[in-house]
A and B are shown apart, each in its own frame.
Chain A
């Protein structure tokens, strides 16, 4: 199936731990994103990569580090997890020049920090 897939779907971990979320798209898109959705469903962009190059880096703690080994993958590593990091993290992709197609989102990773 063509899609944006994220793993894991659920992640429960203790404060202070380091964790990673993986994202892969097989749509041939050249741009990928990480969004954070809080408990009130507000979506905030965190990072974007275009052809493996970082193009958007919002005000995000440097405990969050994205890595794009190739244009089909964008992973998110989080160090020293805090309670406030609990949220749903969405990966998305788009064809950078094809703005009329919008984004294709993954189904999200629900991170709970205890």
Chain B
């Protein structure tokens, strides 16, 4: 089955760019998502990308997809302290099941 892996921690300074990386194993994954979880809250969908796209930009967020390497990244420009959270990568093949990575804890230092 699908497996999604992410590094667990990332620390950046306020104003810098953050890049969170993710790899997945199932090349038939059609939809790839990034979710954000703040303390004590549920996951919030940030952005998504279809497998036929290489890049998607949405304000400060840029998603890059390398299908050959099955690698997904989320870049947050001008990172703010409010961006401190856990970021989950997720993959879905077109059925009803979405597989989540373990989450990357982003720490933003003022």
Give chain A nearest CB distance to B42 CB in angstroms.
3
| Residue interface bits A23-66, CB-to-B below 8 A is 1, else 0 | 00000000100010000111101001010000110000000000
| Chain B 66-89 interface mask (CB, 8 Å, partner A; 1/0) | 000000000000000000001010
Binding site for B on A (CB under 8 A): 4, 31, 35, 40-43, 45, 48, 50, 55-56, 90, 92, 94, 96, 99-108
- Please report the C-alpha to C-alpha distance between residue A4 and residue B41 in the assembled complex, in whole angstroms: 12
Known contacts A100-B50, A102-B48, A107-B41; 6 additional CB pairs below 8 A are A41-B86, A42-B100, A48-B97, A99-B30, A105-B35, A108-B41
Beta-carbon contact of A103 and B31 below 8 Å = no
Q: With the chains together, A2 CA to B3 CA distance in Å?
A: 32
Smallest beta-carbon distance A2→chain B, Å: 14
Binding site for A on B (CB under 8 A): 30-31, 33, 35, 37, 40-45, 48, 50, 86, 88, 90, 92, 94, 96-100, 102-103
CB distance from B41 to the nearest CB of A (A): 6
Tally the A-B contacts, defined by beta carbons under 8 Å.
Answer: 61
Nearest Cβ on chain A to B50's Cβ, whole angstroms: 7
Query: Across the interface, do A102 and B41 meet the contact criterion of CB distance under 8 Å?
Result: no
Contact between chains at A90 and B97 (CB < 8 Å): no
Q: Which residues of B contact A94 (CB under 8 A)?
A: 96
Collect the chain A residues with CB atoms within 8 Å of residue B37's CB: 41
A56 touches B102 (CB 8 A): no
By the criterion CB–CB under 8 Å, are A100 and B48 in contact?
yes
Question: Are A45 and B97 within 8 A (Cβ)?
Answer: yes
Shortest Cβ gap from B71 to chain A (Å): 20
Complex interface: chain B residues within 8 A of A45 (CB): 97-99
Contact status of A102 and B33, CB under 8 A, knowing A40-B102, A108-B41: yes
Most interface-central of B88, B97, B99 (chain A CB within 10 A): B97
- Given contacts A90-B43, A99-B30, A100-B48, is CB(A43)–CB(B96) below 8 Å? no
* A90/B42 in contact, CB under 8 A: yes
Contact across chains for A105 and B44 when beta carbons are under 8 A apart: yes
Known: A41-B86, A41-B102. A106 touches B97 (CB 8 A): no
